[in-house]
Amino acid sequence: LTADDFFEYEGAWFYRISTKGGKSLKNLHSIRVVPVHPDLVREGLLGFVQAGSKRPTQRLFPPRSQGNVAGWVRGKLKITRRDLAPSHGWRHLFEDVALRAGMADSAKTYITGRTTGKSSEGYGKSDVMLPGLAAEMQKLTSFLLRDATRTS
């Protein structure tokens, strides 16, 4: 991602996942706009992005960021699972949390860049859908502010 990939629309923040600037993606369905979860806004992601806005087309994260995350998860957090890279499970975790939160299947499928093979996947690519996607993202409860009485 670059600073140019982030934008605000009707009071919510989003980022574009695209091939713009020579980026590569797995497939055509990977091109999408994703709402930024409010936790990331509270944690200062937008300040980090704005600090990178002096070079709007430069990557915000190093090419080795997946390895950095893996080192943090395994080394500092001591979470290990043989034969599975730590970053492999993020999408699966998101889908589980989204299901628990009652996120609409169409939003979950779009946000994760998955395909269902339905013709409707060709629809809904305009900015008109963005407030609805942001509302669906807000259904996901915070990982940062856990209620002590709630069980996970």
Q: Is pLDDT at 146 greater than 70 in this prediction?
A: no
Residue 70 · residue 86 · CB < 8 Å: yes
Dig out the tokens for 39 from the structure. 């936790």
Query: Crossing angle, helix 130-137 and helix 105-112, to 10 degrees?
Result: 100
User: What letter would DSSP give residue 63?
Assistant: T
Dig out the tokens for 51 from the structure. 């600090």
Query: Residue 121 — pLDDT band, cuts 50, 70, 90?
Result: low
- Give pTM, 2 decimals: 0.80
**Rounded Cα distance, 119 and 123, in Å:** 8
> Where is mean pLDDT largest: 69-73, 87-91, 105-109?
105-109
H or E segment to which residue 40 belongs: helix 38-42
Query: Residue 8 — pLDDT band, cuts 50, 70, 90?
Result: very high
